[in-house]
Structure 1
Amino acid sequence: MIARVWRGWASGAGAGEYQRHYETEVVEHLRQVAGFRGARLLRGEDGDEVLFTSITLFGGMDDVRRFAGDDPDLAVVEDTARRVLTRWDERVTHHEVAVDVQP
């Protein structure tokens, strides 16, 4: 399994809007991708901004490419997100999940 990790920052005022976008549009899109295994959106204060870290799980890199396209390291940041984020990582990182603990 592959974990795809990306970060984006929003102002305090824009943070709620970004979170709603992720919970609706991003999740809906991810659920349609073959090989999608789950997602987490982490939220934390970072100075005057709110830092979001998205961790999406896929069965393998072929599944990641179905989501991200030919350059899987390029961030997928939709226009809605671009309007409310102050900045974001242009590139993502991918990690093999070494241990996966479920309750």
Structure 2
Amino acid sequence: MIARIWRGWASTATADDYQHHYESEVAEHLQQVTGFCGARLLRRHDEQEVMFTSITFFTSMEDVRAFAGEDPEQAVVEDTARRALTRWDEHVTHHEVTADLRR
């Protein structure tokens, strides 16, 4: 399994807008990708902004490419997200999941 990790920052005024976008539009898009195995959105208040960390899980890098395109290291940031965020990582990192501990 592959974990795809990306970060974006929003003002406190627009942080809820980004979270709503992730829970609705991003979730709908991901559900249609073959090999999508789940996602987590982490939220951290950092002084006057909110940092989001998105971790999406895919079966393989081929499945990541089905979501991200030919350059899987390039971040996928839709227009709605760009309006809510103040800045974001232009590139993502991919990690092989070597342990999956759940309760």
Global fold match (TM > 0.5): yes
Partner amino acid, structure 1, of 2:4: R
5+ long unaligned stretches in structure 2: none
Q: Count the aligned residue pairs.
A: 103
C-alpha distance in 2, partners of 1:31/1:54? 15
C-alpha distance in 2, partners of 1:100/1:58? 13
Q: Helix, strand or coil for the counterpart of 2:100?
A: coil
Structure 1 position 51 matched with structure 2 position 51 = yes
C-alpha distance in 2, partners of 1:66/1:101? 27
Moved over 3 A (4+): none
Partner amino acid, structure 1, of 2:34: A
C-alpha distance in 1, partners of 2:91/2:97? 19
Structure 1 position 73 matched with structure 2 position 83 = no
What does 1:1-103 align with in structure 2 at a 5 Å threshold?
1-103=1-103
1:8-67 deviations in whole A, cap 9, x for unaligned? 000000000000000000000000000000000000012210000000000010000000
1:53-88 deviations in whole A, cap 9, x for unaligned? 000000010000000000000000000000010000
Percentage of identical aligned residues = 70
C-alpha distance in 2, partners of 1:67/1:49? 28
Normalising by structure 2, we get a TM-score of 0.98
Partner amino acid, structure 2, of 1:26: V
RMSD: 0.5
5+ long unaligned stretches in structure 1: none
Normalising by structure 1, we get a TM-score of 0.98
